[in-house]
Structure 1
Amino acid sequence: MSRAKNPKYESMSLEELRANMEKSKKELEHAIHNKNILEQRKRIVERKERSHRLIVKGAEFEKAFPLSRDLEQEEVQDVMEQLQNSSYNKSIVRQVYIAALHKEQQQIAEAVERAEKGDDS
């Protein structure tokens, strides 16, 4: 497979080509470094979001079951396992999830409708 020659580079000296190549390498290294920094920041944000979510949900569990504060971790795990194995609880969680999903879809549809009308509020 032959490459088409670029007239821009045809007129450049070997030193200019090498300098251009070095500049391109540095730009690439800089871009890779920036990408790594952004990926690291993304992981930090995701970890903070997860930690916050777990704390909030744990607080809600404690609020619903105040006596759980005095339970050991193993005992809390046993309670959660019993709750998880209950088909009644699974049904409740499924219903709440479906309702939340419908609400989110409705909000998206309303936002699309507003955007189509040109209403940014």
Structure 2
Amino acid sequence: MSRAKNPKYESMSLEELKANMEKSRKQLEHAIHNKNLLEQRKKLVERKERSHRLIVKGAEFEKAFPLSKDLEQEDVQKVMSQLKISVYNRGVVRNVSNAAEKIGRQQISEAVEKTEKGDDS
């Protein structure tokens, strides 16, 4: 399979082609570097979001169970295991999660409707 020759490059000298190749290589290196920086930033943002979420949820747990602040880590883990085992608690968490998911779907649906109508407000 032969490729069509590009007349733009046909008229270039060897030095110009080498310079063009070097320029393209530097652009590629720059793009790869930027991609790596963006990936690092994304990981940092995700880690901060996770840390914030864990802190907030831990605070809610401590708010619901004020005596838990005096418990050792092992004891907290035991309490959480017991809560996880309870069928009632699993049902409550499932119901709350389903309700939140339904609200999220409704918000998305409303946003799509606004976009289709051309309403930017």
TM-score range, shorter chain: over 0.9
The 5-angstrom pairing of residues 15-94 of structure 1 reads 15-94=15-94
Q: Secondary structure at the match of 2:12?
A: coil
What is the one-letter code of the residue matched to 1:58? G
What is the one-letter code of the residue matched to 2:82? Q
Instruction: Give ranges in structure 2 of 5+ residues lacking alignment.
Output: none
CA distance in 2, matches of 1:15, 1:118: 54
What is the aligned residue count?
Answer: 121
Q: What corresponds to 2:120 in structure 1?
A: 120
Instruction: Give ranges in structure 1 of 5+ residues lacking alignment.
Output: none
Q: Secondary structure at the match of 1:12?
A: coil
What is the one-letter code of the residue matched to 2:88? Y
CA distance in 2, matches of 1:59, 1:94: 21
**How far did residue 2 of structure 1 move?**
2.1
**How far did residue 3 of structure 1 move?**
2.0
Hey, which bits of structure 1, 4+ residues long, moved more than 2 A? none
**How far did residue 116 of structure 1 move?**
1.5
User: Percent identity, aligned pairs only?
Assistant: 78
Q: What corresponds to 2:8 in structure 1?
A: 8
**1:3-39 alpha-carbon deviations (Å, 9 max, x no partner):** 2211110100000000000000000000000000000
**How far did residue 119 of structure 1 move?**
1.5
**1:71-94 alpha-carbon deviations (Å, 9 max, x no partner):** 000000000000001111000000
Q: What value does the CA root-mean-square deviation take over the aligned residues? A: 0.7
